[in-house]
Amino acid sequence: MCGIIGYIGDRDVSEVVIEGLTRLEYRGYDSAGVAILNDNGIDIRKRPGKLNILKADLKKNPIKGHIGLGHTRWATHGIPNEQNAHPHTDCKKNIVLVHNGIIENYQMLKDGLTKRGHAFRSQTDTEVIAHLIEENYKGNLEEAVRISVKELKGAYAIAVLHKDEPDKIVAARCESPLIVGIGQSEYFVASDIPAILKYTNKVIFINNYEIVSIDKKGVRVIDYSNQPIKKKAVCVDWDITQAEKGGYDHFMLKEIHEQPDLISNILNTRVRGNRIHFDELRIKDTILKKIDKIFIVACGTAYHAGLNGKYMIEWLAQVPTLVDTSSEFRYRNPIVGKNTLVVVISQSGETADTLAALRESKKKGAKVLGVVNVLGSSISREADGVIYTHAGPEIAVASTKAYTAQLAILYLFSLYLAGLREKRTPYKIAGYLKELKKAPGHIKKMLEQYGDAKKSDLKHKARIFNREYHKRLKDYYQRDSEGRKRAPNCCFLFLGRNVNYPSALEGALKLKEISYISAEGYPAGEMKHGPIALIDENPWTICIVPESSLHEKMISNIMEIKSRGGIVVAIATEGDEEIRKVGVDYIIDIPRIEQTLTPFLVAIPLQLLAYFVAREFGEDIDQPRNLAKSVTVE
């Protein structure tokens, strides 16, 4: 996810663009750049790293002008360096362009353009667009953009300038967001509203397959067949911070809501026909065929995704798979050989323990594959191979969208291995992919049902818990004179079986890390080996009991809890009549899906329950105490 901005008007464009990029930095922050059109032509300045570096550079060597573009990058193709930073240009540097999104067919387009004599300067997918426009430019920038974007596949929001049309910016949108800001004889294009709020709150929202041209006289919108489109401007009443969160109260809630599009995007870019592509993998199929053992190593939420990966890989690809936390793996002298594949999972790509586990594995001669979100991070550079999750920046400390993105990548990798090692037929793999493609729609449906911060039923449940929790503590301290032996159990137990045992661990972690309430995840079969001693009328037990071959076993666990007075919240498949007969206290329905894919859906109510409980307790949800987004120390 990146941030783009364009401006035309009478202000100092450098100031406007930097202000806009500052407000868009939450969308990506591994490099930034500006392009300004003035009497000397197009002046481009770009720097790797945070926006501050570019800001300081422009302060020292300012660029004057009143029309320009800006970009803050979240790298998807090409590591974060100056060469790959946006803006990008055509061969002759007459055209300059910024882009947010992923061009899926960039390689095929790049090959064709190279054959026709175009010279590329970067490894990005974006630069292809600038050369396409160059090829189609016949004196009309809007027309050149219109012809060019029709060749693109994937997601894009672009803004383009041409040296020979110094009073115009042309922009286009497919899937990635794009808005137009309308000021007093000044106009803006941007990825998101925060970028322009300082100057105007009058906005036009651009839809997919629309092209907008702005100049000092105004705004013109056409569709891809050159038909003019009438657009109505709206006035937004968000303040800046709200706008950076897309109108959500917290980044965590915003990121929870990004999951349907994110998983669709992973499937659209990774699955073409029924073939799975990991273009950046770098580990040859011949090596993957010889692997006789897999270790999955990670921390926290990534570790829980890895536990799910074990079930997926062993079930689909039938390779023995062990899972370890990085901090344990790195010190226990693991049995790793040249035919071992170590998969390290890390959203940040910088977690110290996971990086150490990677280095330990390489020292022992294993091949290491990184499943990482941040391009150019240490793990992505030091691993033998990498698969990016492309989840965009995850700002909230509590990981949500990165988790489901990791699940998606691990599931696709398991299918890839299964096909490569002929453990599953192409027909079966196509069937699994068809089922996986249902996940985004199901998640979207659950977010509509439970995700609204104003009217979600989960918020209501969290309020009940909050009231019960404080009533018990008050009762306890009032009755302290009776010399009670122990404080009441005010904790949450999360129970699941098979692929939803990791879901139980993840649900417990989400709750405890943002609400500071004691919460434990267990494999449900373990209850009778100790944890059931915790059950009395106090603790809430979240039972993950979707339709599956172990449904009856979960029902028995629920009955054991209910018979001891425990309170049970069941996460069950919609229409499950049996669960309604065993007297659970609350039911959270999830749509029906193939049982190995239920963790994708179960994650949503678990994330939202943690969010609403923490909200009821008034905690700092995006930046919980004692935690950091990336633990780069031991």
Which residues are marked as active site?
Answer: 2, 629
Question: Which residue has tokens 């919240």?
Answer: 569
* Nearer to ligand AGP among residue 156 and residue 600 (C-beta): 600
State which of positions 615-634 bind ligand AGP (CB under 6 A).
630-631
Taking CB positions, which residue lies at the least distance from ligand AGP? 300
Residues pairing with 271 in the sheet? 276
CA–CA separation, 236 vs 601, rounded Å?
33
397 near ligand AGP (CB under 6 A):
yes
* Nearer to ligand AGP among residue 36 and residue 514 (C-beta): 514
* Nearer to ligand AGP among residue 86 and residue 390 (C-beta): 390
What is the CB neighbour count within 10 angstroms for residue 403? 32
* Nearer to ligand AGP among residue 305 and residue 433 (C-beta): 305
What is the CB neighbour count within 10 angstroms for residue 449? 19
Q: How many helices (H) and strands (E) does the chain have?
A: 21, 26
Shortest Å distance, C-beta 396 to ligand AGP: 8
Using CA atoms, how far residue 244 sits from 179, 191, 194, 206, 254, in Å, is 14, 11, 6, 18, 10
State which of positions 50-89 bind ligand AGP (CB under 6 A).
none
Tokens at 70, concatenated:
């800006």
Shortest Å distance, C-beta 479 to ligand AGP: 37
Shortest Å distance, C-beta 399 to ligand AGP: 4
255 near ligand AGP (CB under 6 A):
no
* Nearer to ligand AGP among residue 4 and residue 398 (C-beta): 398
Indicate which single residue of 103, 132, 299, 317 sits in contact with ligand AGP (rule: CB under 6 A).
299
Which window, 130-138, 297-305, 562-570, 600-608, contacts ligand AGP (CB under 6 A)?
Answer: 297-305
* Nearer to ligand AGP among residue 547 and residue 622 (C-beta): 622
Give Cα 200 distance to the centre of its chain: 29
Contacts of 594 (CB under 8 A, 6+ apart): 432, 435
Indicate which single residue of 31, 94, 308, 347 sits in contact with ligand AGP (rule: CB under 6 A).
347
Tokens at 379, concatenated:
């793990």
Shortest Å distance, C-beta 387 to ligand AGP: 14
CA–CA separation, 490 vs 479, rounded Å?
16
- Grouping H, G, I as helix, E, B as strand and the rest as coil, residue 82 is coil
Which window, 166-174, 344-352, 475-483, 540-548, contacts ligand AGP (CB under 6 A)?
Answer: 344-352
Q: Are 492 and 518 in contact (CB under 8 A)?
A: yes
Question: Which residue has tokens 């990991």?
Answer: 278
* Nearer to ligand AGP among residue 96 and residue 610 (C-beta): 610
CA–CA separation, 447 vs 426, rounded Å?
33
Indicate which single residue of 398, 579, 597, 621 sits in contact with ligand AGP (rule: CB under 6 A).
398
**Total of chain residues touching ligand AGP, rule CB under 6 A:** 15
Which window, 65-73, 310-318, 342-350, 408-416, contacts ligand AGP (CB under 6 A)?
Answer: 342-350
Burial 459-478 (b: 16+ CB within 10 A, else e): bebbeebbeebeebeeebee
* Nearer to ligand AGP among residue 148 and residue 399 (C-beta): 399
Shortest Å distance, C-beta 622 to ligand AGP: 11
* Nearer to ligand AGP among residue 7 and residue 29 (C-beta): 29
Shortest Å distance, C-beta 606 to ligand AGP: 12
31-38 and 67-73 beta bridge pairing: antiparallel
State which of positions 144-203 bind ligand AGP (CB under 6 A).
none
Which window, 11-19, 80-88, 164-172, 299-307, contacts ligand AGP (CB under 6 A)?
Answer: 299-307
Q: Are 87 and 34 in contact (CB under 8 A)?
A: yes
Indicate which single residue of 126, 346, 466, 498 sits in contact with ligand AGP (rule: CB under 6 A).
346
Residues pairing with 388 in the sheet? 372
Which window, 212-220, 340-348, 452-460, 522-530, contacts ligand AGP (CB under 6 A)?
Answer: 340-348
Indicate which single residue of 65, 183, 300, 370 sits in contact with ligand AGP (rule: CB under 6 A).
300
Shortest Å distance, C-beta 355 to ligand AGP: 9
385-388 and 492-496 beta bridge pairing: unpaired
Shortest Å distance, C-beta 395 to ligand AGP: 11
301 near ligand AGP (CB under 6 A):
yes
* Nearer to ligand AGP among residue 303 and residue 432 (C-beta): 303
What is the CB neighbour count within 10 angstroms for residue 240? 12
CA–CA separation, 161 vs 137, rounded Å?
12
Shortest Å distance, C-beta 84 to ligand AGP: 22
Shortest Å distance, C-beta 556 to ligand AGP: 31
CA–CA separation, 257 vs 447, rounded Å?
7
State which of positions 307-336 bind ligand AGP (CB under 6 A).
none
Shortest Å distance, C-beta 30 to ligand AGP: 15
* Nearer to ligand AGP among residue 327 and residue 573 (C-beta): 327
Q: Are 79 and 376 in contact (CB under 8 A)?
A: yes
513 near ligand AGP (CB under 6 A):
yes
Phi and psi at 104, nearest 5°, equal -70, -35
Phi and psi at 612, nearest 5°, equal -70, -35
Indicate which single residue of 14, 361, 399, 557 sits in contact with ligand AGP (rule: CB under 6 A).
399
Burial 513-544 (b: 16+ CB within 10 A, else e): bbbebebbbbbbbebeeebbebbeebbbbbbb
Which window, 183-191, 280-288, 341-349, 497-505, contacts ligand AGP (CB under 6 A)?
Answer: 341-349
Tokens at 197, concatenated:
């709020």
Which window, 226-234, 316-324, 347-355, 567-575, contacts ligand AGP (CB under 6 A)?
Answer: 347-355
* Nearer to ligand AGP among residue 148 and residue 373 (C-beta): 373
| 457-478 helix and 598-616 helix, angle to the nearest 10 degrees | 50
Shortest Å distance, C-beta 301 to ligand AGP: 3
Cα angle 574-580-581, degrees, rounded to a multiple of 5: 145
380 near ligand AGP (CB under 6 A):
no
Helical segments of 205-274, H only: 240-244, 251-257, 259-270
Cα angle 195-196-202, degrees, rounded to a multiple of 5: 140
List contacts with ligand AGP (CB under 6 A): 299-302, 346-348, 351, 354, 397-399, 513, 630-631
